[in-house]
């Protein structure tokens, strides 16, 4: 059984000590960042090395939203404006959904060519007047129906391109006024208000194969623990939102969480995260995450298998035609 974790590596190639560590830990999957990326050929070698280290076709994830959150960029990969800019420039939700479908279908083709088969998108958080700038222009809109429709289009574009989508940040990060990379956001809105708005896009996307948790404290549901480490919140995600896919934590090393890396990992697993995500490539921390997270088993192992079963060969498309349409709808390039 694979380890209940998704891990990164330190650089553009897999070092011998990293290879030995991954062979021992056997993480369920891997995640890449800009520090791991140089050229298309190098990236394809790295994704192959990662899979070889565990001896199976492990999923390899990346955050490739376009705009500010893009680990792949020029000159080898297409640039994009922030998603919210594209959505707001569209005449209506249907046109915005088409524009973002085109973007993510093209992104999926780039990812598959590099050996990457998971993308941490769509972002189903709702943008509001107080949404922290780290997140705001990564969102797709300011209403639950629009966000749900556009996020569905994004997810389907990725699946059509043979890439697993990871919807984030469940059950909703849009009301947070702090950056969870550095501090724990607290949301004081009532549960009723949250269910009517912030949680609604995630209910509409509950059939997707994977989701990433929010490092956000929802005071009316659990005043003591952020969602990632809260059995109350994650129980609600399963029961009331109805999400049945594989649930991964956001990066367990982020500043929103308290305690040691091992304590955070154990708390996330105890709360209901199927896998723990660790991103910074620190070997000592990765070993601690793996030990605390344990192995996939039972229902979580079944959810992991079901997620991988949604990974398939990309549908044939005319990339040049999609690109021409995408540039027309986006209206500009970064």
Residuewise pLDDT in 10s, the chain (334 residues):
899 999 999 999 999 999 999 999 999 999 999 999 999 999 999 999 999 999 999 999 999 999 999 999 999 999 999 999 999 999 899 999 999 999 999 999 999 999 999 999 999 999 999 999 999 999 999 999 999 999 999 999 999 999 999 999 999 999 999 999 999 999 999 999 999 999 999 999 999 999 999 999 999 999 999 999 999 999 999 999 999 999 999 999 999 999 999 999 999 999 999 999 999 999 999 999 999 999 999 999 999 999 999 999 999 999 999 999 998 887 544 3
pLDDT for residue 181 = 95
pLDDT for residue 31 = 98
Residue 215 known to be catalytic: no
Tokens matching residue 312 = 């398939």
Q: What is the pTM of this model?
A: 0.96
Tokens matching residue 79 = 């640039």
- Which residue is it, tokens 């995500």? 277
**Catalytic position from the list 52, 132, 160, 181:** 181
How many CB atoms within 10 Å of residue 331? 12
**Catalytic position from the list 26, 63, 125, 250:** 250
Residue in 314, 313, 305 with CA at minimum distance from that of residue 2 = 305
Say which CATH superfamily domain 3-311 falls into.
Answer: Glycoside hydrolase, family 3, N-terminal domain (3.20.20.300)
Residue 250 known to be catalytic: yes
What residue ranges do the domains of the chain occupy?
3-311
Residue in 274, 267, 221, 264 with CA at minimum distance from that of residue 243 = 274
Helix (H, G, I), strand (E, B) or coil at 99: helix
pLDDT for residue 331 = 55
């Amino acid at each position: 059984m694979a380890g209940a974790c998704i891990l990164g590596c330190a650089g553009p190639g897999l070092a011998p000590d990293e290879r030995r560590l991954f062979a021992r830990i056997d993480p369920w999957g891997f995640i890449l960042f800009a520090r791991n990326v140089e050229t298309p050929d190098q990236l394809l070698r790295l994704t192959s090395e990662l899979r070889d280290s565990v001896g199976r076709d492990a999923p390899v994830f990346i955050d490739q939203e376009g705009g500010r959150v893009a680990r792949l960029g020029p000159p080898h990969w297409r640039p994009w404006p922030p998603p919210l800019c594209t959505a707001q420039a569209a005449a209506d939700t249907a046109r915005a959904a088409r524009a973002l479908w085109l973007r993510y279908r093209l992104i999926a083709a780039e990812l598959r060519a590099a050996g990457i088969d998971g993308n941490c998108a769509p972002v189903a958080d709702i943008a509001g007047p107080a949404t922290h700038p780290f997140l705001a222009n990564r969102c797709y809109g300011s209403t639950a129906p629009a966000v749900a429709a556009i996020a569905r289009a994004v997810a389907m574009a990725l699946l059509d391109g043979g890439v697993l989508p990871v919807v984030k940040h469940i059950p909703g990060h849009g009301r947070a006024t702090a950056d969870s990379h550095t501090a724990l956001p607290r949301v004081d809105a009532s549960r009723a208000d949250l269910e009517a708005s912030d949680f609604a896009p995630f209910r509409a996307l509950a059939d997707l194969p994977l989701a990433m948790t929010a490092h956000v404290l929802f005071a009316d549901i659990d005043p003591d623990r952020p969602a990632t480490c809260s059995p109350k919140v994650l129980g609600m995600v399963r029961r009331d939102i109805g999400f049945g896919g594989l649930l991964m934590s956001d990066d367990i090393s982020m500043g929103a969480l308290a305690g040691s890396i091992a304590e955070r990992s154990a708390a996330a697993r105890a709360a209901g995260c199927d896998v723990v995500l660790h991103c910074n490539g620190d070997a000592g921390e990765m070993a601690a995450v793996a030990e605390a997270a344990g192995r996939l088993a039972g229902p979580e192992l079944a959810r992991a298998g079901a997620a991988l079963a949604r990974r398939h060969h990309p549908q044939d498309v005319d990339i040049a035609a999609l690109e021409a349409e995408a540039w027309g709808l986006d209206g500009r390039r970064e």
